[in-house]
Amino acid sequence: MTQARPDADRERIVVTIDPDLEAIVPGFLANRQRDLTTIEACLKQGDLTTIRLLGHRMKGDGGGYGLDQISMIGHHLEEAALAKDFGTLQHQQELLRDFLVRVTVVYKR
């Protein structure tokens, strides 16, 4: 399994979102960036409970913001934490990092 590497020069991920969410999506993405830092620390400490909770929240919240990819990553984080699958946890962490680096949000109806 090849891990994605965050690279701003790679192709952008364009996500079209309802303009009614324009005021809150940047904060949501900033919070996911903070989650990424937390996940990294939790992996070093073996804190799978926090990762599971973060994944569960991402799984539930991502779609509501029009960011289904965040929901999928959250789902996989939650499942991997429950299974104590550190390889998958690290892979999902990298996918989240890559997504946050490359995502471009477009607001239109």
* pTM listed for this prediction: 0.88
Per-residue model confidence as pLDDT tens digits over 25-67: 999 999 999 999 999 999 999 999 999 999 999 999 999 999 9
Which is higher by pLDDT, 5 or 51?
A: 51
- Please identify which residue in the block is written with the tokens 């550190």: 86
Count other C-beta atoms under 10 Å from residue 107's C-beta.
14
Tokens of 94: 């990298």
Q: Checking phi first, is residue 46 left (phi over 0); if not, alpha (psi -120 to 50) or beta?
A: left
The whole-angstrom separation of Cα 64 and Cα 50 is 22
Domain boundaries along the sequence of the chain? 26-107
CA angle in degrees (0–180, nearest 5) for 18-59-69: 55
